[in-house]
Amino acid sequence: MCNDIQSPGLYIHIPFCVRKCPYCDFYSSEDTQQIDSFLDALDHEARLYQEQFKRFGSLYIGGGTPSLLSARACTRLLEIIKSHFTFTESVEVTLEANPDDISPQKASLYRDLGINRISLGIQSFDDEVLKFLQRRHTADQAGRAVSIIREAGFDNLALDLMYAVPGQSESSWRDSLQQALRCTPEHLSCYQLTIKKQTPFHTLKTSGTLKPLPDDAQEELFLQTSDFLRKNGYIHYEISNFAKNKACYARHNANYWLHVPYLGLGPSAHSFDGTARWWNNASVSKYIDLISHGTAPVQKRENLSADQRRLEKLLLGMRTRRGIELDTLSAYPQGKTVLPGLVEKGLLEIFENRIQPTTRGFLVADSLPLLFL
């Protein structure tokens, strides 16, 4: 998909947030007093893998809220990472940031530390939507954060936006998209609000207080979003992701979709070495405790058979516009039978010996490969 794509990726989960957003099911803790102990533990965990994983093509610092780290903690984090691992010359180093954390000092520190891509969680340029989502920032702060990041010299900026939010009008969403385009981001992720179990929004949904948009309205917004961004020159290269050009595809996430190995460090982080997958305990306290007793914080490990790996590759490949090689179907005889019908329905197309989902195909990307089995 882009340079260094076959080099493994390194993910660091920063498990802290100032306050939990009511729709979010990522693991994070509000106990920022634990940051120093967490960094000590991370140093130990990195040491466990320094022989197994050496040279990475991407580093993604996600969370949680990595931008809440102080200058001292962020500097230490990068020192820890660089002391254990090496990176390719053109490594892509992304840091997830919330707009209200961005200051000229922080942006310039990030540059000095070698971070070359910022993924900014804007979600919306409509203050009413931001209030509903209980985000800490305003639309004005989001715009200011973009200016600061650009002034600091970042030429790779990714914006996260959210739609299908109850109460959000179509024109509010369109306006957010237009304002996002004025920031000329190299990358845009547009996520539909999904109500995840064990979140406050789920409790509200169960009690009938929060009504998600009907499925057909969500699908329509998805198609409109894709159409609008493609008309404005963006490539819709994965279900929720758009890039200005191929060089701007999110390198780290592309590793997941292409089934390239990745190492995840920190509470709840997932790893894959090409044949096995494992993930860490999702609790900062437990993570710190296990490591302080010399135990790896792995919660579970799964060895994948060749069949499982092939199926995963198929499922992940169908989430991207790149799709899968036509030859892949030789392992799934049923696939050859159903393929013409899916092409006729406009869900798939065949291009240069690849089977690729169309924009409509993206809407059913998760179920499409099951038809091949």
Beta strands in 153-297 (DSSP E): 157-163, 187-192, 235-238, 241-243, 262-265, 270-272, 276-280
- Spatial separation of the C-alpha atoms in residues 366 and 348, rounded to whole Å: 13
Nearer to ligand SF4, 28 or 281 (CB): 28
- Residue of 78, 156, 66 whose CA lies nearest to 102: 66
- Indicate the angle between helix axes 71-84 and 104-112, nearest 10 degrees: 10
Q: How far is the CB of 159 from ligand SF4 (least distance, A)?
A: 14
Residue 192 is a binding residue for ligand SF4 (CB under 6 A): no
Q: How far is the CB of 20 from ligand SF4 (least distance, A)?
A: 5
Site for ligand SF4 in 24-63 (CB under 6 A): 24, 26, 28, 63
Candidates 1, 14, 21, 254; binder of ligand SF4 (CB under 6 A) is: 21
- Residue of 180, 183, 187, 101 whose CA lies nearest to 150: 183
Nearer to ligand SF4, 58 or 119 (CB): 119
Phi, psi (rounded to 5 degrees) for 38: -60, -45
Nearer to ligand SF4, 66 or 361 (CB): 66
CB 124 within 8 A of CB 145: no
Nearer to ligand SF4, 21 or 288 (CB): 21
- In sequence order, what are the residues at sequence separation of 6 or more whose Cβ sits closer than 8 angstroms to the Cβ of residue 183? 143, 146, 157, 159
Nearer to ligand SF4, 162 or 248 (CB): 162
Site for ligand SF4 in 102-161 (CB under 6 A): 121
In the numeric block, which tokens belong to residue 357? Answer: 């989902």
**Residue showing tokens 């989902």:** 357
Question: Do the bridges between strand 235-238 and strand 241-243 make them parallel or antiparallel, or are there none, so unpaired?
Answer: antiparallel
In the chain, the amino acid numbered 32 is T
Candidates 2, 5, 20, 34; binder of ligand SF4 (CB under 6 A) is: 20
Candidates 64, 66, 264, 297; binder of ligand SF4 (CB under 6 A) is: 64
Nearer to ligand SF4, 12 or 355 (CB): 12
In the numeric block, which tokens belong to residue 338? Answer: 């159903």
Q: How far is the CB of 357 from ligand SF4 (least distance, A)?
A: 27
Q: How far is the CB of 267 from ligand SF4 (least distance, A)?
A: 13
Q: How far is the CB of 246 from ligand SF4 (least distance, A)?
A: 28
3-state helix, strand, coil in the chain (%, to 5): 45, 25, 35
Report the run of H or E that residue 122 belongs to, with start and end: strand 117-123
Q: How far is the CB of 24 from ligand SF4 (least distance, A)?
A: 3
Stretch that binds ligand SF4, among 19-27, 52-60, 69-77, 217-225 (CB under 6 A): 19-27
Candidates 7, 29, 58, 65; binder of ligand SF4 (CB under 6 A) is: 65
- Tell me which residues touch ligand SF4 (CB under 6 A): 17, 20-21, 24, 26, 28, 63-65, 98, 121
